[in-house]
Amino acid sequence: MEFDVAAATRIVAQVRPSLTGHQVEDETFEVRLDGSPQASVEILDAEYGGRLDVVDSATGQLSIHYRATVAVIDDPQPLVPRHGSPALERLELARPSRYCPSDHVGGIAAAEFGAIDGAGAQAAAIASWIHDRIGYVAGSTDVHDSAEHTLLTGQGVCRDFAHLGILLCRALDIPARFAAVFAPGLDPMDFHAVFEAWHDDGWWVYDATRLAPRQSLVRIATGRDAADTSFATVIGGRATLTEMSVMATVDGELPTDDHASLVALG
Amino acid sequence: MEFDVAAATRIVAQVRPSLTGHQVEDETFEVRLDGSPQASVEILDAEYGGRLDVVDSATGQLSIHYRATVAVIDDPQPLVPRHGSPALERLELARPSRYCPSDHVGGIAAAEFGAIDGAGAQAAAIASWIHDRIGYVAGSTDVHDSAEHTLLTGQGVCRDFAHLGILLCRALDIPARFAAVFAPGLDPMDFHAVFEAWHDDGWWVYDATRLAPRQSLVRIATGRDAADTSFATVIGGRATLTEMSVMATVDGELPTDDHASLVALG
Amino acid sequence: MEFDVAAATRIVAQVRPSLTGHQVEDETFEVRLDGSPQASVEILDAEYGGRLDVVDSATGQLSIHYRATVAVIDDPQPLVPRHGSPALERLELARPSRYCPSDHVGGIAAAEFGAIDGAGAQAAAIASWIHDRIGYVAGSTDVHDSAEHTLLTGQGVCRDFAHLGILLCRALDIPARFAAVFAPGLDPMDFHAVFEAWHDDGWWVYDATRLAPRQSLVRIATGRDAADTSFATVIGGRATLTEMSVMATVDGELPTDDHASLVALG
Amino acid sequence: MEFDVAAATRIVAQVRPSLTGHQVEDETFEVRLDGSPQASVEILDAEYGGRLDVVDSATGQLSIHYRATVAVIDDPQPLVPRHGSPALERLELARPSRYCPSDHVGGIAAAEFGAIDGAGAQAAAIASWIHDRIGYVAGSTDVHDSAEHTLLTGQGVCRDFAHLGILLCRALDIPARFAAVFAPGLDPMDFHAVFEAWHDDGWWVYDATRLAPRQSLVRIATGRDAADTSFATVIGGRATLTEMSVMATVDGELPTDDHASLVALG
């Protein structure tokens, strides 16, 4: 990521793989201002094993470069529950949030999915419905658009697909959360986003875009919606993201995803 | 209608039957301020045979009382086209409006109704879909809520049912308009609203609420949506509507409406 | 304008100068499909002297090219009132519309401008306030965004500046309308938009962007908001605008606009 | 609280004082179904010392009755930071949420408060501005309305006043949170809501309604906005709240609040 920093600012980066479900074997996080190395001020531990890098930058051209090798753990341990209480976490993740105002879509959620029996079948039906109905159109939404916008216009990108899944699940009282991930196989390559729904005693990952296999996703950040997982937040000052590139690959073959079976995200 | 006028104000009433499709046999429009008769300042001819009463009121208790006997014409003449050009009128009534932002719902309209062949079949399917999905819940919406709100929450009143019909028709390029009407047989009695869609060389009336027979509706005002047909608009000053009652009956039997055949509104 | 027409479609173009306030001395409107000249199906007279070209196109590359020379009339006659009744027109243009939901912003309009005496002073204050507060940022809004979006985010383009002026005027019961115009001197050159407010017995033009002199604007289309003035509407079929260029110049010197005096748009 | 439970449901009540800042000396939480005592299924510890009662109810008339005596601690300890990390908590509470979409109001927040120096002065100016501009109007908003609605319409109730404070603080990068409280002295008595902003190394409480002294508020629940603090959430099933009454009093005299000095909420 390259920033044009016009007034001294704080940038919070959220790009490291979470410490859950995979082993980070080696990683480098480099910050340069006008070409000179800078020390990252602070690493904060976020929920669900996420990590935030808090970078205070003077004016100039700021570049942040991160690279890591990650070993996926075959039998992923469940994420440490938010705040230590799984029951509370599920209550919280059934509430409406910035991009997923589920209190407002009870009618359409019930009309489309209310007759389906069981939260697992409902969540799977929601993911298929989104895949069939919503067009993946780059540039069709902006950072202010909620999942309602995508539901109505029929267009969005991965973030919107995930938000729409969360919106509809929560409207049916199914806890759901947003995961920002690295997605080997994604084309064009970029950060990716999926949603996870709680049913059958677990958190299951759904990717209504079907653009990358779920088995090789690497979790970065987890939250109520994209408001919690922004890869870069500018606080105070003035900074403009001028360039960004993302690359994620697997050693060996990409797994095959049938999008029918349940997959838990590492 | 009774108003508490706290600062001198202009009130524009839109309650008289339009001069199209029926014969107004006798009518009285009485305005009283603190019990004393006042002259109505001006009657304006509105589009589609509508009539507006512009009342300038000093402070006090303002009461407006209107009564009329209307003979429905058996073979209604088509409404005089807006601005004299039916082609222009249809273009205009296919555009988005305050409560019917049809530019924003192209995705869901196409997904639900795009495969249906022909504007008439689409409009009829829209009216049935609204009737089946949306709950008529008094108090569920307010004067700021658009048809998107009703689509998402699954609730509304007659005005919202009509707005939703217009929203979905226009999203499919079907011209549609809003009609405020008297509706004998409505229970509880109140002003009523329906929508009209253009297809098969005519304007056909749809009432997704199915609460009153369409044959005995009496048109008051017609427009893009309820922004054009408010029964009372307060301009400047300060006035609060404190009471309102509406009564509409037919001589003889109420007609029966099968809601399947096409009905043109008089 | 160049379109990629993927399925036979109707395109309604609204690019000719209106027949009010200026003399169109010569004009050509050329339509070509895959390079071959096509006849324009129909010219419709719109409100306020506007003109619509209805083009039915088969699949292929459609190009529309329009060129005209216009003589501005020194002493412009008032626009023919909409529907023949100026009083009704003003009522209609005080109502909320798609991009100007004035019923919803009564609080902020009253707080900012309610203490100013007189509609003319209020309209002028609104135009200055918009100019001072809102940033002109290309790409900051899309075709679905209303004036509320611009009020809150503080960004927009000419269309949004005009919508915001209309929104705030109407919230104060000042009739206001949207005008799409050619604007010699605009940089970068494009279609431009301004708003007109009714006060002091006339319609006065305000351009909160202050990007081009008001005296040499040439009116194209006039309406409640941009929903009425789209330079190209695609009806049915499938067509994508792939290229557009606009050029407007004056013979001689551009006039100077102090943005303080009242200017009526020709 | 009385509920009409039409289909077996879970109700999560959030009405007990939090365990922070005051001593709960005695309390009873009684649940009755059709008059017979029921055991509350589970008490969950929520963030910031909050407590949730999870009640599973069969069909019938459900009544929940809670009563407590609370001793306010003179020198309140700071709330245990959410998730154990105050830095992370502040990052999280600067993000947009369901009713406080602060990403969307950067323009108006900067225009009104950007020139004020320091987060404390900004937060105080925001609270005064809300108090001066927004009318407290019972029934003017519903459960779906965000703080943007209140900002634009100029009306709301305590929940909306608090949301608007949070909205504007976060738009200026000031962390802010929502607190549902008991408010002795409130008239008419009901649940109350205030907001807290982070500045000068502490969380300070603001009540833009100025309807009750801040010193005797008793915290119930704390969160991003009202989505986190609902006093009753119905999950699955079908239940309608049919009656609710709240009463909060102090022993002795109500404190006096000048609304100028800083007050930390117990």
pLDDT of residue B227: 98
Over the range A202-217, which residues count as b (16 or more CB within 10 Å of their CB) and which as e?
ebbbbbbbbbbbbbbb
pLDDT of residue C174: 98
Which of B100, B137, B140, B152 is the best mutation test for A, with the most CBs of A within 10 A?
Answer: B152
Which chains have at least 3 CB atom pairs separated by less than 8 Å from chain D?
A, B, C
Establish if D253 belongs to a structural domain.
Answer: no
What is the C-alpha to C-alpha distance for residues A67 and D105, in angstroms, rounded to an integer? 35
Q: Which of C177, C108, A1 is nearest to D107 (CA)?
A: C108
Q: With beta carbons less than 8 A apart as the criterion, state whether D213 and D256 touch.
A: yes
Give the percent of chain D with pLDDT over 90. 83
Chain D interface includes B142 (CB < 8 A): yes
More confident residue, C199 or D264: C199
- Residues B151, A108: C-beta atoms closer than 8 Å: yes
Mean pLDDT for chain B overall: 93
- The structure's pTM equals 0.96
By Cβ distance, the residue of B106, B135, B154 closest to A154 is B106
Enumerate the H helices of chain A as residue ranges: 86-92, 106-113, 119-133, 147-153, 158-171
Number of CB pairs < 8 Å for C and D?
A: 51
Q: What are A77's two structure tokens?
A: 């341990």
Which of 39-58 (C) contact B at CB < 8 A? 42, 44-47, 52, 54
Phi, psi of D182 (to 5 degrees): -85, 140
Neighboring chain D residues of A166 at a CB cutoff of 8 Å: none
Establish if B38 belongs to a structural domain.
Answer: yes
- Give pLDDT tens digits for C25-38: 899 999 999 999 98
What is the C-alpha to C-alpha distance for residues A42 and A27, in angstroms, rounded to an integer? 16
Pairing of strands D155-156, D135-136: parallel
- Give pLDDT tens digits for C153-194: 999 999 999 999 999 999 999 999 999 999 999 999 999 999
Neighboring chain C residues of D105 at a CB cutoff of 8 Å: 152-153
Q: DSSP for B226-257?
A: GGGT-SEEEESSEEEEEE-------SSPPPP-
Is the per-residue pLDDT at B255 higher than 60? yes
Establish if C258 belongs to a structural domain.
Answer: no
Q: DSSP for C131-195?
A: HHH-EE-TTS--TT--HHHHHHH-EE-HHHHHHHHHHHHHHTT--EEEEEEE-TT-SS---EEEE
- Residues B98, C94: C-beta atoms closer than 8 Å: no
Residue with tokens 């999870």: D54
Contacts of B129 (CB under 8 A, 6+ apart): B112, B113
pLDDT of residue A81: 58
Contacts of D62 (CB under 8 A, 6+ apart): D2, D3, D5, D11, D31, D32, D33, D55, D239
What is the C-alpha to C-alpha distance for residues D219 and D72, in angstroms, rounded to an integer? 10
Angle at B190 between CA B188 and CA B192, to 5 degrees: 110
Q: Which of C191, C183, C201 is nearest to C266 (CA)?
A: C183
The helix or strand, by DSSP H or E, that contains position D112, with its residue range, turns out to be: helix D106-113
| D27: confidence class by pLDDT, cuts 50, 70, 90 | very high
- Residues C155, D105: C-beta atoms closer than 8 Å: no
Establish if D266 belongs to a structural domain.
Answer: no
Establish if A254 belongs to a structural domain.
Answer: no
What is the C-alpha to C-alpha distance for residues A86 and A2, in angstroms, rounded to an integer? 38
Peptide bond into C86 cis (omega under 30): no
- Give pLDDT tens digits for A112-145: 999 999 999 999 999 999 999 999 999 999 999 9
- Residues B142, D142: C-beta atoms closer than 8 Å: yes
Any idea what the CATH number is for the domain that residue D161 is in?
3.10.620.30
- Residues D85, A52: C-beta atoms closer than 8 Å: no
Provide the domain limits for residue D79: 2-243
Written as one letter, the residue type at B39 is: A
pLDDT of residue B77: 58
Establish if C99 belongs to a structural domain.
Answer: yes
Establish if D46 belongs to a structural domain.
Answer: yes
| B172: confidence class by pLDDT, cuts 50, 70, 90 | very high
pLDDT of residue C80: 60
Long-range contacts of B244-247 (CB under 8 A, 24+ apart): B244/B1, B244/B2, B245/B189, B246/B182, B246/B189, B246/B190, B246/B191, B247/B189
Establish if B228 belongs to a structural domain.
Answer: yes
Is the per-residue pLDDT at C23 higher than 90? no
Structural domain tally of chain B? 1
Which of 117-136 (C) contact D at CB < 8 A? 133-135
- Give pLDDT tens digits for B19-75: 887 788 899 999 999 999 987 778 999 888 899 999 999 999 999 999 999 987 766
pLDDT of residue D115: 97
Chain A interface includes C153 (CB < 8 A): yes
| Spans of chain A below 70 pLDDT | 74-84, 266
Q: With beta carbons less than 8 A apart as the criterion, state whether C55 and C63 touch.
A: no
Is the per-residue pLDDT at B215 higher than 80? yes
pLDDT of residue D84: 64
Written as one letter, the residue type at B102 is: S
- Residues D152, C148: C-beta atoms closer than 8 Å: yes
pLDDT of residue C81: 58
What is the C-alpha to C-alpha distance for residues C53 and C41, in angstroms, rounded to an integer? 8
Mean pLDDT for chain C overall: 93
Chain C interface includes A155 (CB < 8 A): no
- Give pLDDT tens digits for C124-133: 999 999 999 9
Nearest CA in chain A to D93: A228
